[in-house]
Amino acid sequence: MKQEQALKFLCDEQLGKLARWLRISGQDAFFKNRLGDNELIELAEKEARIVLTRDHKLVKLIAKKGLAYYFLTENYPALQLRELVERFQDKIRIRVFSRCVECNLALEPILKEEVKDLVPPFVYKHQDLFRRCPGCKKIFWAGTHKSQVELQLKSVLGEIYDKIHEELWNPIPEKG
């Protein structure tokens, strides 16, 4: 697999909903309630994150520091997602359910045997692939919720979705 440098974002405190959309689609998007300007700038610099904001005052501070930012023109989270994806489509890959929406950490594959007592019996019976968040330990699987999210993203992003979508939940190839 080609290893490209994925973009890292930092959503300002007004953009919590956008952060959720970004995480659901697999992007690294830092977000924290009541993150002060100084803390935000420090973090953006330390972790080389692109600051996402609609705050003119903040933009001035960031620009003065020479840090990367993107000023969103759209008001609604879904449209903001589309705006961002259009802007960065060469560097963004949509990987649904590859990141924990709460913790912003990349999910790790986990063997089916290991989740037997952690998921509902129905899910265990019908699903073969599972991933776990290394932070909150929540288990994810590719059920109907994933299909719904994909449909939603597709309707928001239109044609771009098909161009930059990558499926991470392929069945494990059968041996011999």
Residues forming beta bridges with residue 10, ordered by sequence position: 30, 51
Burial of 25 (0-12, 13-18, 19+ CB in 10 A): buried
Is residue 108 part of the contact set for Zn ion (CB under 5 A)? no
- Read off the DSSP letter of residue 130: E
Is residue 135 part of the contact set for Zn ion (CB under 5 A)? yes
Span from 29-37, 47-55, 66-74, 135-143 in contact with Zn ion (CB under 5 A): 135-143
Is residue 133 part of the contact set for Zn ion (CB under 5 A)? yes
Give yes or no for a contact between 124 and 133, defined as CB atoms under 8 angstroms apart: no
Is residue 102 part of the contact set for Zn ion (CB under 5 A)? yes
Is residue 85 part of the contact set for Zn ion (CB under 5 A)? no
- Closest contact distance (angstroms) between CB of 2 and Zn ion is 27
- Closest contact distance (angstroms) between CB of 100 and Zn ion is 3
Output 85 or 96, the one with its CB closest to Zn ion: 96
Q: What are phi and psi of 46, to 5 degrees?
A: -65, -40
Is residue 103 part of the contact set for Zn ion (CB under 5 A)? yes
Output 80 or 104, the one with its CB closest to Zn ion: 104
- Report which residue type is found at 148: Q
Separation of alpha carbons 59 and 134, rounded Å: 33
